[in-house]
Amino acid sequence: METAEIRRRWLRYFSTRGHTVVPSAPLLYDDPTLLFVNAGMVPFKPYMLGQETPPYERATSVQKCIRTLDIDEVGKTSRHGTFFQMNGNFSFGDYFKEKAIELAWELITRDQSDGGYGLDESRLWVTVLQGDEESRQLWKRIAGLPDERIVQRGLADNYWHMGVPGPGGPCSEIYFDRGPQYGPDGGPEADEDRYLEIWNLVFMQEMLSEVRTKIDFDVEAPLPSKNIDTGMGLERMASLLQGVDNLYEIDEVFPVIARVEEITGKRYGANPQDDVRMRVIADHVRSGLMLIGDGVTPSNEARGYVLRRLLRRVTRSVRLLGVQDPSMVDLLTVSKDRMGASYPELETNFARISQIALAEEQAFTRTLSSGTTILDTAVASAKSAGETTLSGDRAFQLHDTYGFPIDLTLEMAGEHGLTVDHDGFRRLMAEQRNRAKADAKSKKVGHADTSVYRALREPGITEFTGYRELSTDSTVRGLILDGSPIEVADKGQTVQVVLERTPFYAESGGQIADEGEITADGARLRVLDVQRPVKGLIVHTVEVTEGTISSGADVLASVDREWRLSACQAHSGTHVVHAALRQVLGPTALQSGSFNRPGYLRLDFAWTSALESTVRDELEQVANLALRYDYPVSATYMPIEKARDLGALALFGETYDEEVRVVEMGGAWSRELCGGTHVEHSSQIGAITLIGESSIGAGTRRVEAYVGLDALRFLGRERALVSQLTEALKVRPEELPERVNSLVARLREAEKELEKGRRTALLNAASSLVDSAADVNGIAVVTHDAGPVDPADARALALDVRGRIAGSRAGVVAVAAVAKERPVVVIATNEEARARGVKAGELVREAAKVLGGGGGGKDDVAQGGGTDATKIAEALQRIQSVVAERSV
């Protein structure tokens, strides 16, 4: 049975039994505690935590999930994978244990011809929490299981909670006995490879007040309504129903391995090391496909870094299997063809997906080539010195100078039997990046404990009136100071205020929060920020500038009119620029992120190359023509399926309700899902002036622009600058480019002449350097600090001086320099010195250690470098000391 069919049967089965089918949430779910959705219950957390009232009593889903803690183990075992799909059925105060067990047992044992999975009842085992006699008796009665196949286990295995105060309860797991060829008898406690867990039924029935560990927690009280949360691993069920050993061999994964066999000429199962690489490729290609499909782009932070790491491991694994040509798009195509049966949007978005992945593959291929050479040299140096650890500064140099990721350094060093000083690497990274800042969102709302916000949310949502008015009479629902509720706030305090109704827009969708003030009898509050810490609740961070404010007070909330107008211009301008990009570049130029504040916007979009000046000009012209056409701007609420049918664009990674707000400009010209504030006609934007276009990562570009008065001010400054230049250069404005180019060309020629003269002067010093040679055990040792010069010139000087050492005298020449603020050292030895055991490669490694780096080369000429230019004199002195030690 194909995986897609297993999925279809699941949804059909529960749909016909009163469950609402809930589409999978994007992998980038709006949950500040998670990097990605990692379990099927994540989209339902607000209902389980009591933050929101569920819109249905029963639900079912097949949720896309990513777990990244075990990336390094992927491929080494048959159980670890990064992407998986979790089938779930949920009850919110409706049915409980008995019905959940009945539904599960019926589906997995019903004959396949009758819509079930047809598992052999005699091979099924279950576990229950020790002491949960009710569940044990239900399994006996409903499933007819004998006592020996109902195993009681402790809290560590059969109790579920979220790791924080909230709901929890016992769980019951279903296992399938794969047979004695997979392990010993004895049930799940004896061997979980043979007895494969396929389904977990969680019976949420208690509220936990304190959670210290998995097995150490306090139960506050029974839940007022008991919930059911179950999860069946789709890939595990597929492996059983398809008669294969593991998830890598199911129909949605193995075709990638088969394609790898074709392009490499290697056979899966023939070589354990090659098998690991093929499994890594198959898993990571599928994960990369799904992540990019949901809007993740490669970067050096957070989610983007996880994707980058997955794609890089694919690239390296393919090359280790002997293929040097680009292969990412080929492999993604195979995966897309298999996953498309369940996720048809992959086909629609594949041009964008493949574009991003190819750009990352090409970029990393260049990094891999240069970084591998440097790493191999560092490994060889460490081994020759008898070391078992690669230094943290060497790992940092690979990362900082060559863009070589630390995880790959760890992996490749391990393949050579070396560990890496990871603590040293992290210390250097901390020094460089000053990682003392917390996540921006958590600084604003402190998401660690949202209980105070949940309590204020219980009476109902905060009504947002800002679409239709800028001033609203309201009442203070609550005040918060340092995460705790208070009754009164005094002048000078900065507190959070929750109102019953508000015109203030809370930061979201790339648009920053409104500014303005809240006034009451004798009190004035300046609004500093507005956020939504929990869904449906708007929280204002304010400074009390006059009087006092108390909970329950009547107030007038007023948004700054100029601020809102400029903010609307910027947000509407973002929609215009997005539509213009798609018109100029094509439909794959989709927005992947945005930010707008009054007068300014930036928009990130999928594209792999820089925009030429003519394209930028065309983009700006198309955008401003849309303003000239004075397109009407409208916002309409509709079901999300209708919005999709209309072609409304959704921002990747955003989560939307079933009822969505569609903002249109000129009808279909620009149609997007958006909750932001906008102008009423495109002409009200005023003007759009592009001020920048750049790369922010492989496959992603960023455009920036000013709008409205800020655009006009920018153009005014540009005009003033042109006027100053034309006056200074005595030319007309249209002649400026030619005159500036001419001056730049002349300047470059002058720089070349200066460089030539400097190089000549440097080499002319060669004879005097020979005269200054120190005698070390009969070897002429020349050391020289050449200062800020090109490494090639330092090398030329070292070779020149070596050639001037007369007769049969042994000689060593060391020239240090500083290039791009980093120290470099070049060492040259003649034949007589080498005959006495003095080798350039060994000397340069010793010098580079002092400089905080590494290096290598041949016995006659070698080059190295480091990070600390202040230690050049010490490094040159070290060379003399090593010559004294090594010469015989």
Q: How far is CA 4 from CA 79, 340, 341, 430, 874, in A?
A: 20, 9, 6, 46, 67
Nearest residue to 141 (alpha-carbon basis) of 186, 95, 97, 96: 97
Distance between CA atoms of residues 346 and 295, nearest Å: 11
Q: Could you tell me if 208 and 219 are in contact, meaning their C-beta atoms sit under 8 angstroms apart?
A: yes
User: Is position 568 annotated in a ligand binding site?
Assistant: no
Distance between CA atoms of residues 209 and 501, nearest Å: 32
Contacts for 560-564: CB closer than 8 Å, 24+ residues apart = 560/514, 560/515, 560/516, 560/517, 561/470, 562/598, 563/514, 563/515, 563/516, 563/598, 564/466, 564/470, 564/505, 564/514, 564/677
Q: Tell me which residue has tokens 């909330």.
A: 557
User: Is position 571 annotated in a ligand binding site?
Assistant: yes
CA dihedral 370, 374, 376, 380 (to 10 degrees): 160
878 conformational bin, left if phi > 0, alpha if psi -120 to 50, beta if neither: alpha
- What letter does residue 505 receive in the DSSP assignment? P
Nearest residue to 27 (alpha-carbon basis) of 373, 308, 297: 297
Burial of 712 (0-12, 13-18, 19+ CB in 10 A): middle
Nearest residue to 395 (alpha-carbon basis) of 821, 412, 73: 412
Q: Could you tell me if 310 and 289 are in contact, meaning their C-beta atoms sit under 8 angstroms apart?
A: no
User: Is position 80 annotated in a ligand binding site?
Assistant: no
Q: Tell me which residue has tokens 């060492």.
A: 827
Sheet holding 688-697, edge to edge: 591-597, 600-606, 700-707, 688-697
- What letter does residue 447 receive in the DSSP assignment? T
User: Is position 65 annotated in a ligand binding site?
Assistant: no
What are the tokens at 640? 């999300």
Q: Are strands 861-865 and 854-857 parallel, antiparallel or unpaired?
A: antiparallel
Q: How far is CA 743 from CA 726, 739, 793, in A?
A: 14, 6, 28
Number of residues that this document lists for the chain: 888
Residue ranges for the known binding site for Zn(2+) are: 571, 575, 674, 678
Residue ranges for the known binding site are: 571, 575, 674, 678
